[in-house]
Amino acid sequence: MALHGGREPKHPGGEEVQVNPLFADPAMDAVPKHRLGDGSIDPRTAYQVVHDELMLDGNARTNLATFVTTWMEDDARRLMAECSDKNMIDKDEYPQTAELERRCVNILGSLWRSPARGDAVGCSTTGSSEACMLGGLALKRRWERRDGGSRGRPNLVMGINVQVCWEKFCNYFEVEARCVPMEGDRFQLSAEEAVARCDENTIGVVAILGSTFDGSYEPVAEIAAALDDLEKRTGLDVPIHVDGASGAMIAPFLDPELVWDFRLPRVASINTSGHKYGLVYPGVGWAVWRDAGALPDELVFRVNYLGGEMPTFALNFSRPGAQVALQYYNFLRLGFDGYRRVQQECRDVATRLAGSIVKLDAFDVLTRGDELPVVAFKVRDGIESFSVFDASTKLREHGWVVPAYTFPANREDLAVLRVVVRNGFSHDLADMFVGDLKSALPALERQHEPVHGASATSFHH
């Protein structure tokens, strides 16, 4: 089954890719698209064909939808090329890559105030999705082991605003997803709503730092305090997993006074995406547990067929080692102050951008970029001529990819645009973006009614 998101290929009719005569031998002017060719072609031709096909992908720098790193400096790219043959799982063959992974886990553990100083329990993953699955599996196994009590269907409590990986976790591992809907101006999980849904079959509560929908931080400390109180009243001991896919690499640098991490005894595990504000190219995430007690030992496999006895906790077996080396490179290269300056610049750009958007007198901002550097904004009440979907389409004419989407239950009536400010999206680019949005307004305001419906662009993670 080919999973291509229901999109038709660009040229549905053609079964072959045409090869420019400059590159091919005269006998071969096309190569099949959907089956192997009969013979080989030379590498230069193959390179050119693939390279040309990929030209149609968007420009990463003007893609304001993604949280994922789209630029790294030359030295990092060199390191990536040097490490491209390393398989992360072969820890016996690549012990130094494994050592860099261990150092990264300790660095993150200390950033997140792990009590296991210098011996943090954690691992790298392909991204936050895998890290969340591992965090969820540890919660589920701990619940199963708990005092042999009643065994109904396990459930996980979270806001409806969780990223799709948590829905996947619940679906794949047969856990009931107890999602708290949005209500009025509350777009995230509250302590009160979380506690109200906990019972003896709750494996944990997921708190997000910050929400994929609007970039806001969930009140982790308040949720922890409410769960402490629940334990006092009922004896139920419900742990928290903090999904810090983005925020766990922002808050330690920009919000040191915010208590959301292992300083809260109820926080059992934390994940982040190395490839988001960890500033590494895609495929690396991290999961760190409070201590060995938070990660049941029976989930850790020890294999000896690679030589040595290697512990692994992962959904995949083989995966690239280069991103782990790049994560360590960034930690080494930037240090605490380097990260702080990069993240502060993103926050400064985002908050200024939010102010400029408000000044256009056509939009209201839901978030101002002062938690995650993310600005979510909606068309101002009373403006009937265009929708966020129309604005998103107009921005595409200028090369900007800005997702427009509706919020989930119970705020499906609310549709927003969202800009994610990443390293490299400068004040200058932000000004150009606002300029293009401003210049699109007269045409949008001349419309009699919105042109694009809710399906115009899909939600981006």
Residues that bind ligand PLP (CB under 6 A): 67, 127-129, 132, 163, 165, 208, 212, 243, 245-246, 273, 285, 461
Q: How far is the CB of 355 from ligand PLP (least distance, A)?
A: 24
Task: Identify the CA nearest to 416 among candidates 382, 369, 380, 371.
Answer: 380
Q: How far is the CB of 220 from ligand PLP (least distance, A)?
A: 13
Distance of CA 18 to CAs 24, 406, 429, 434, Å?
A: 10, 40, 37, 40
Tokens found for residue 243 = 């999904």
Q: Which is nearer to ligand PLP, 97 or 246 (CB)?
A: 246
- The stretches of 314-451 forming alpha helices (DSSP H) are 322-359, 388-397, 427-446
- Say how many CA atoms lie within 13 Å of 367 toward its Cβ: 28
Q: How far is the CB of 245 from ligand PLP (least distance, A)?
A: 3
Q: Which is nearer to ligand PLP, 371 or 390 (CB)?
A: 371
Q: Rounded to the nearest whole angstrom, what is the least distance from the CB of residue 302 to ligand PLP in the complex?
A: 26
Of 129 and 387, which CB lies nearer to ligand PLP in the complex structure?
129
Output 120 or 270, the one with its CB closest to ligand PLP.
Answer: 270
Token pair belonging to 259: 């208590």
Compute the C-alpha angle 409/415/419, nearest 5°.
115
Q: How far is the CB of 147 from ligand PLP (least distance, A)?
A: 31
Nearer to ligand PLP by Cβ, of 67 and 389: the residue is 67
Q: Is 237 helix (H, G, I), strand (E, B) or coil?
A: coil
Whether omega before 308 lies within 30 degrees of 0, making that bond cis, reads no
Query: Smaller CB distance to ligand PLP: residue 205 or 437?
Result: 205
Q: How far is the CB of 359 from ligand PLP (least distance, A)?
A: 28
- Residue 334 near residue 342 (C-beta atoms within 8 A): yes
Residues 6+ apart with CB under 8 A from 42: none
With CB atoms as reference, the residue minimizing the distance to ligand PLP is 127
Q: Which amino acid is at 190?
A: S
Could you tell me the smallest distance in angstroms from the CB atom of residue 340 to ligand PLP? 21
Nearer to ligand PLP by Cβ, of 234 and 316: the residue is: 316
- Cα dihedral 145, 146, 151, 156, rounded to 10, equals -90
